[in-house]
Amino acid sequence: MDIIRTVKSLPGITKLLINRYAPFRGAGISIDTLDLNQGFVRVKMPLTRQNRNIVGVQFGGSLYAMVDPFYMLLLLHLLGNKYIVWDKSATINFLSPGRGTVYAEIRIDAAEIRHIEYLAANNSPILRVYKLDIIDETGQRIAEVEKTIYIRRKKATASRSLFKSR
């Protein structure tokens, strides 16, 4: 079984693999909730020695890393293998120092998937912009992230036949 099929069929294994991913583990990032079929991920990161910056708060790179792969991961799962999905760009705006555990929730609903399928039906590339907040335990916004995702429906390939038509 290849890794993509494992990810799609065994969400518990997917969560375990992502939580053991070296950059996440090193920064203390972990997935609280992963529901690929419902398009939802909740991720957290406590303040530790590994992700504390020079002034003692959450390192900005770790804040971004905790949300970086999830829009692409969710879209790849929800759209299926008939689509190309790539991260195009991202920005992060730091609003307040992260002095403890921080959280982010990434969501893509069924209406968004239907809209993407409609926009990409002619195989033209589309760009979708998603915004999310990173918050602390009290609900205070620590950072806002904006991700731009490139999506394109793959062009159908002509099927090969053993017999050529005349």
**Taking the domains of the chain in order of start, what are their residue ranges?**
3-153
CA distances from 164 to 8, 66, 159, 161 (A): 37, 52, 11, 6
**Measured between alpha carbons, how far is 99 from 135 in angstroms, rounded to an integer?**
11
Please give the pLDDT value at position 50: 92
Q: Which fold has domain 3-153?
A: Thiol Ester Dehydrase; Chain A (3.10.129)
User: Mind listing the pLDDT tens digit for each residue in 68-111?
Assistant: 999 999 999 999 999 999 999 999 999 999 999 999 999 999 99
Question: Phi and psi dihedrals of 21, rounded to 5?
Answer: -60, 125
Nearest Cα to 50, choosing from 70, 74, 30? 30
- pTM > 0.75: yes
Q: What contacts 32, CB < 8 A, 6 or more positions away?
A: 42, 43, 44, 103
Token code pair at residue 161: 């036949």
Please give the pLDDT value at position 98: 96
